[in-house]
Amino acid sequence: MSGIREYQLVLADGEVFEGEGIGADPIDGVASGEVVFNTVLTGYQEVLTDPSYAGQIITFTYPHIGNCGVNAIDDESTRPFCRGVVVRDLARRHSNWRSEGDLDTFLRRHGVAGIAGIDTRRLTRHIREAGSMAGAFGPADAAELRAEAEGEAGTAGGDLVDLVSTKRSYVVGDGPRNVVAFDLGVKSTMLRHLGELATVTVVPADTSAADVLALEPDGVFLSNGPGDPEDAGSIVAELPALLGRVPIFGICLGHQVLSLALGGRTFKMKFGHHGGNVPVQDTRTGKVEITSQNHNFAVESGSVPDVTETHVCLNDGALEGLVANEVPAFSVQYHPEAGPGPHDSRYLFDQFAELMDAHAQAH
């Protein structure tokens, strides 16, 4: 890097952090968004390219980021949709046999601004106590940055799904079943897993139920995605026409929009779940899974009628999974594809295959 760019990160409540610029220069000198923290120890590239981070600035709690470089196969989408990145130390050298380049160049290529040298422990503790909030960083003075932070909407009041969803349908995989996947911000690793089970037609988030049924799917998949599920476009209104007609499996935002379609309620969490080490218990068996998670909204426990709540977060009791009692549909709040993260929950893709096969035999 040529020269130090002195930056400040200022939160909407006036908290100030000093550091230095990394990655691309912020557009108009300021990068702003909702500041959240992620606790993963590895997989920073998968986190940065997860479309669920649209509207957000990602703080990594692990102090050394960039050690392994980057490579194209680990991208979860065509580009990062996050508003910025905050790290303690950006590795001066990357070392990994799979590496195709360094993280700073990756950020510059994709136009993502970042700030390094931040006391991320202090920042994380502040967010845990005060909750996720808007922030802004760049070379501007603290007063200007705070004004930008105070005026930042972050993930509230907008259809971020439309920003990240594909604009045209495409097909992946060659499995024996036929699945339609709603792209609410889908990750590449999810599609790789689904592609082993089925030939997958990925459709835009605003695709109608009639168009989905015309494809004669064996199952429908609802992907992860960013923002408030109540602002996720037409998907919630379209799902009732699919319930009972075809098996449905939802992950993360997919879990939330399915719950809304079933009559449930969602709410914004204080600081969300973002990490690769979150313990979740299957309340039916008592088995505990270590899971990968990334969400700021959750489904209100007890609010969804005619379902069995199947999974709970052992950290805070949040609802993490459910199965519909009257129709073939189930969903989880966490990420069984684990990109990045542990692989404890990948069996859920097999459960989806079993549900599709059982429904096909019955009909």
Return the structure tokens found at 89.
């130390």
What residues are annotated to the active site? 252, 335, 337
Residue 347 lies in a domain: yes
Looking at the structure, tell me whether residues 170 and 105 fall in a common domain.
Answer: no
Cα separation values, 180 from 16, 112, 200, 242, 346, Å: 46, 32, 6, 12, 19
Cα separation values, 263 from 225, 306, 327, 331, Å: 20, 9, 14, 14
Which residues in the chain come in under a pLDDT of 50? 1
Looking at the structure, tell me whether residues 179 and 302 fall in a common domain.
Answer: yes
Looking at the structure, tell me whether residues 137 and 171 fall in a common domain.
Answer: no
Looking at the structure, tell me whether residues 291 and 332 fall in a common domain.
Answer: yes
What's the pLDDT score for residue 1? 44
Peptide bond before 340: cis, by omega within 30 degrees of 0? Answer: yes
Residue ending a domain, choose from 94, 120, 150? 150
CA distance 103 to 289: 31
Residue 37 lies in a domain: yes
| Listed residue (248, 277, 253) closest to 62, CA to CA | 277
| Listed residue (209, 194, 190) closest to 51, CA to CA | 190
Q: Which residues contact 275 (CB under 8 A, 6 or more apart)?
A: 38, 39, 40, 292, 293
Residue ending a domain, choose from 95, 124, 150? 150
Looking at the structure, tell me whether residues 247 and 278 fall in a common domain.
Answer: yes
Count the domains in the chain. Answer: 2
Looking at the structure, tell me whether residues 207 and 120 fall in a common domain.
Answer: no
Q: What is the CATH number of the domain that holds 339?
A: 3.40.50.880
pLDDT tens-digit series, residues 141-185: 999 999 999 999 877 767 899 999 999 999 999 999 999 999 999
Looking at the structure, tell me whether residues 16 and 44 fall in a common domain.
Answer: yes
Q: Which residues contact 59 (CB under 8 A, 6 or more apart)?
A: 35, 36, 37, 38, 85, 86, 87, 118, 120, 123, 124, 127
| Listed residue (266, 271, 314, 268) closest to 290, CA to CA | 314
pLDDT tens-digit series, residues 262-280: 999 999 999 999 999 999 9
Contact criterion met (CB below 8 Å) for 266 and 231: no
Looking at the structure, tell me whether residues 95 and 137 fall in a common domain.
Answer: yes
| Listed residue (213, 225, 198, 218) closest to 76, CA to CA | 225
Q: What is the CATH number of the domain that holds 25?
A: 3.50.30.20
Looking at the structure, tell me whether residues 129 and 175 fall in a common domain.
Answer: no
What's the pLDDT score for residue 2? 54
pTM listed for this prediction: 0.95
Residue 31 lies in a domain: yes
Residue ending a domain, choose from 103, 121, 150? 150
Looking at the structure, tell me whether residues 207 and 231 fall in a common domain.
Answer: yes
- Domain range for 226 is 160-362
Residue 1 lies in a domain: no
Looking at the structure, tell me whether residues 11 and 144 fall in a common domain.
Answer: yes
Residue 220 lies in a domain: yes
CA distance 266 to 350: 27
DSSP at 24:
S
What's the pLDDT score for residue 158? 77
Residue 155 lies in a domain: no
Looking at the structure, tell me whether residues 167 and 143 fall in a common domain.
Answer: no
Residue 45 lies in a domain: yes
